[in-house]
Amino acid sequence: MTSEEYRKEILRLKKEKNAVILGHYYQIEEIQALSDYVGDSLALAQEAQRTDADIIVFCGVHFMAETAKILNPSRKVLLPDVNASCSLAESCTGADLREFKKQYPGYMVVSYVNCSAEVKAESDLICTSGNAEKLINSLPSDQKIIFSPDKNLGGYINRQTGREMVLWNGVCTVHDALEAESILKLKQQNPDAPVIAHPECNAAVLAVSDFIGSTKAMLNYIAKSDKKRFIVVTEAGILYEMKKSNPDKEFITVSNEEGCSCAECSYMKMNTLEKLYKCLRDETPEITLSADMIERAAKPIVRMLDMSRELGIIK
């Protein structure tokens, strides 16, 4: 089938089955263009929670689809490629975190949403890159915290808030691989362009960045800025929305020696139009979790959403 044929069939099946397609900004362009909602992890979790569609097709990675299932368990949640994982989610299991916690009695566990349902079930509060700093700042200043699984995001929050959270040693292999040296070179070549980076990048990269934020926060920054050119330090999929919303602006990306974009998440790119079509047609792969796991993992996610509303981060 051609891309156009897949597109038409996906739209037909979506209507017939009362399904909603949620897509992350790092998905391939064709999927973003077809999605009912495209957003960052926080916005997509909210959409998943409030949708009344019978089927949620989550075009993102496994932990995102799990989060959708946890927030809206009566819906059927599908993920076009069930192997679409995440290096952060893989860096820490529920059992790992349970063991780790034993070394730190009295500590609260805050986990980045990029983790499995099991890790969420072991956590007291979940955060995303869109709300992490504000949520952590709102906790009592003497509250001791374990932050899992992203040491880069956790380190960034420690520097921003002056906290000394104990960090799990996980990284997003895509963002962590980006090097400050390449960014400094780009900065020299393009002195008019601010560097905008995702907080999953390593500390050296963040130190040379002008703006740090979630995918949505980067888009907001560009929309409001009077600058015309930007050095974008995150996964390449976001360029689709950046260019679409800002046709008059130019985006410079970090490339490796061979000149190809090294900031590509192979997990995010596992979902294709063909897999999306087959998943809607056959209603598989489906995300299933035990009722007990849903109940335990929901608590820290719902707490995150409630706190985010109270703090005015989301509506």
Decide: 117 and 66 in contact? Cβ < 8 Å.
yes
SS3 150: strand
Does position 41 interact with ligand 13P (CB under 6 A)? The reply is yes
Instruction: Tell me how crowded residue 121 is: count the other CB atoms within 10 A of its CB.
Output: 22
Least separation in angstroms between CB 112 and ligand SF4? 9
- Candidates 10, 21, 32, 40; binder of ligand 13P (CB under 6 A) is 40
Characterize the bridge pairing of strands 166-167 and 195-197: unpaired
- Contact flags string 110-139 toward ligand 13P, x per CB under 6 A: ----x-------------xxx---------
- Candidates 87, 128, 209, 215; binder of ligand SF4 (CB under 6 A) is 87
Decide: 126 and 300 in contact? Cβ < 8 Å.
yes
32 makes contact, choosing from ligand SF4, ligand 13P, none, with CB < 5 to 8 Å by partner type, with: none
Whole-angstrom distance, CA of residue 22 vs CA of residue 19:
10
Question: Side chain identity at 142, as an amino acid letter?
Answer: D
- Contact flags string 65-104 toward ligand 13P, x per CB under 6 A: ---------------------x------------------
Does position 156 interact with ligand SF4 (CB under 6 A)? The reply is no
128 makes contact, choosing from ligand SF4, ligand 13P, none, with CB < 5 to 8 Å by partner type, with: ligand 13P
Does position 197 interact with ligand SF4 (CB under 6 A)? The reply is no
Does position 86 interact with ligand SF4 (CB under 6 A)? The reply is yes
SS3 277: helix
Chain Cα centroid distance, residue 189: 30
Cβ neighbours for 110, distance < 8 A, ≥ 6 positions apart: 123, 124, 125, 126, 127, 135, 136, 145, 146, 147, 148, 165
Looking at residues 115 to 154 of the shown chain, list those that interact with ligand SF4 (rule: CB under 6 A).
Answer: none
Least separation in angstroms between CB 5 and ligand 13P? 30
Decide: 196 and 218 in contact? Cβ < 8 Å.
yes
Tokens of 217: 């926060």
Whole-angstrom distance, CA of residue 78 vs CA of residue 82:
9
Does position 46 interact with ligand SF4 (CB under 6 A)? The reply is no
Looking at residues 8 to 37 of the shown chain, list those that interact with ligand 13P (rule: CB under 6 A).
Answer: 25
Q: Which stretch binds ligand SF4 (CB under 6 A): 167-175, 224-232, 271-279, 287-295?
A: 167-175
Whole-angstrom distance, CA of residue 202 vs CA of residue 199:
8
Q: Which parts of this chain interact with ligand SF4 (CB under 6 A)?
A: 26, 61, 86-88, 114, 172-175, 200, 235, 265, 267-268
Q: Which parts of this chain interact with ligand 13P (CB under 6 A)?
A: 25, 40-42, 86, 114, 128-130, 172, 200, 214-215
